[in-house]
Amino acid sequence: MKKLNAFTLTELIIVIAIVGIIAAIAVPKIGRWINSTKVRQVAEQLTADLQFAQGLAMEKGSSKVKIYSDRYEIYAPETATTPIKSITIDDTNISLLSNFTNNEIKFRRNKLPITGGTIVISGYGVTYNIVINNIGGRIQLKRL
C-alpha cells in the first residue's frame, strides 16, 4: 500500500493563521503609504506648476500663482483676470497654506519672485514645504 503525501488539517490551519497575521499587519501600512503618496503627488505637482509659472513670467513679462486651501490658480501676466491653469485638490484631507501676501506668489520677467516664502502642503499626518527663494528664484520641495 502506498502512503499518500498530503498536508494535515492542523498544518493548513497554521498556514492560514500566519497568512492572516501578515495581512493584518500589511494592509494598514499600505493604506498609510497610499495616503502619503497622495500628499507627495500634490506637493510635486505644485512644485512643477510653480516652475511653469516662472517660465510663463519670462515669456509674458510676469506671472502669479494664487493659493487657496483646496486649489491654486496660475495667471500670466499677473494682471490677467482668467487663470491659465487651475488645479483643485480633490482630497479634502489635503490642504495648502502659504505665507505670501494675499496668498499670491508673483514672478518677474527674470523668473525671480517679488518676495520669498513658503507653501505648506499637509494631510494624513504628512507635511511638505515648498520654499521659494527670492534671491535666486530657487523652488525647493522638502518633506518635514
Residue 80 reports pLDDT greater than 90: yes
Q: Is residue 121 part of a domain?
A: yes
Taking only Cα atoms into account, the Rg of the chain, rounded to an integer number of angstroms, comes to: 24
- Full residue range of the structural domain in which residue 105 is found: 9-143
pLDDT score, position 23: 86
Answer yes or no: is 3 within a domain: no
Task: Indicate whether 108 belongs to any domain.
Answer: yes
Kindly list the distances between the CA atom of residue 45 and the CA atoms of 24, 28, 69, 92, 121, in Å, as whole numbers in the listed order: 33, 26, 15, 17, 11
Residue 117 lies in a domain: yes
Q: What is the pLDDT of residues 11-49, one digit of tens each?
A: 899 999 999 998 888 888 888 899 999 999 999 999 999
Q: Is residue 4 part of a domain?
A: no
pLDDT tens-digit series, residues 103-113: 999 999 999 99
> What CATH number is associated with residue 60?
3.55.40.10
Could you tell me if residue 87 is inside a domain? yes
**Structurally, how many domains does the chain consist of?**
1
pTM over 0.85: no
Residue 94 lies in a domain: yes
**To the nearest whole number, what is the mean pLDDT of the chain?**
93
Is position 41 within any domain? yes
